[in-house]
Amino acid sequence: MRERLDAVGIDADGESYGLLYEVEDRDVADLREEVDGLASNFDHYDTHHGTHVESDGDRVVLASIWATPDAAQTASGFLTDIDGVDAGVRGHVAEGSSEESAESDDADDGGHPDSGGGRPPTTDTWADSITAVEDLGRRLAAAGVHEGEAYDPGAYGLLFEADREAAALADDIEGTVENFDHYDTHQGTMVRANHGQTVLVSLWDTEDAAQTASGFLTDVDGVDTGARGRLGDPDEGDAEDGSAAGTDEDEDIRAELAEEGIYAGTPHGEDVYAMVLYSEADREALFGEVTDLRGNFDRYDTHVKTAVYGTEDGEMTAVVSLWETADAAETASEYLADLPGVVRKAGEGDGFGTMGMFYTVKDDYREEFVDTFGVVGEKLETMDGHRETALLVNHEQDTDMFIASRWDSRENAMTFFRSEEFRDTVEWGREVLADTPRHVFLA
């Protein structure tokens, strides 16, 4: 390697490791311009000693010098994506050191060679600190990175927790991201901050491309351990196991409720999923925490609202978060569960408790609505299979109320909804409600 570099006038430390490619059918000035952009990104890394384009008149060569074989191996994935860069050699620069072929084999769908550029097969090159996981999609969603918005089904993703402030990290990787964007296989690389934790996400078409990118990302200060994995199925999209558990049953319930006239009119077209958690914390303190969390949730289009509700006797307090999809509600639950004093999530345990109704009552009828609920509650206590029903009032708007009920079974609940007493209540509700009741499913 030393003799080859000397022949084209490239000086390199004998302790370094080099890559050398002969480039065909490229204008030297044009190639230099392209390589200079890549080299400027390489310069962010202490292991980079230099990347150069040189010509002796008969041939054009590209040389990249690194402190270690691992660093050179990572760089090779990007260098071999440059037009005209294919066959080459690699090795320690020290005189007398052996060389190996760095010839690019057949490329995969990601445009990166399976073992070209001097890289061993992908399956052997993942760092131990980047763990393969099966739930990467859920982890990304928790960080606000969602399929269909940030990446396509079937993408391969990287997720790192970074010991850095998000803004500083974003500035630090800006050049790296710009370089990644030169590759068709790159779907996106971004920094997110949630509840004091900074995460770095990188999304690619193929595992091989993601593996190459990981070498650069783990060289960034504060980026060390991470997770990786395939995201969904390109043929199935959102139809992953567990993506919306119970949806078919929920649709059956919705249809039956509408048929029974439970909505007191045409049901909302924007029926939503609710995540409800009960807390023993002081209600005012809990409200402060929820207000902060709600500010983060409001960044997502699928968020409808998040609020604190409680019974008027102060014995029960709940945090209710409404979302357009079950997946989004489940993701939100991970953050809601960190709120103070949370003792349980609605729907936990046995029995049937997947329904709730939200009511917005006209101001003049609020007290009458509460009194009527008391009468209905007395009726419920006599019904087979009824466990509990509570009327919870929005901490910020006392005409916004939520009724949650729990039964031994779905059929017990539907028996009540079919009863004459409930029909009478629904008819009365047409006069006192400011809006059509919103039926929700507890995610």
pLDDT tens digits, residue range 268-285? 444 567 788 888 999 999
Tokens found for residue 155: 């993408």
Backbone region of residue 338 per phi and psi (left: phi > 0; alpha: psi in -120 to 50; beta: other values): alpha
pLDDT over 60 at 417, yes or no: yes
* φ, ψ (nearest 5 deg) of residue 296: -75, -40
Is 134 in contact with 159 (CB distance < 8 Å)? no
What is the residue-averaged pLDDT of the chain?
Answer: 76
Could you read off the pLDDT of 39-68 as tens digits, one per residue? Answer: 887 887 778 888 988 887 778 889 999 888
User: Which residues are CB-contacts of 409 (< 8 A; sequence separation ≥ 6)?
Assistant: 351, 352, 385
Distance CA 181, CA 109 (A): 17
User: Which residues are CB-contacts of 181 (< 8 A; sequence separation ≥ 6)?
Assistant: none
Distance CA 409, CA 407 (A): 5
Give mean pLDDT, residues 107-118.
34
72-81, 93-102, 203-212: least confident range: 93-102
Q: What is the pLDDT of residue 121?
A: 30
What domains are defined for the chain?
Answer: 2-121 (3.30.70), 130-231 (3.30.70.1150), 247-442 (3.30.70.100)
Query: Identity (one letter) of the amino acid at 117?
Result: G
pLDDT over 80 at 378, yes or no: yes
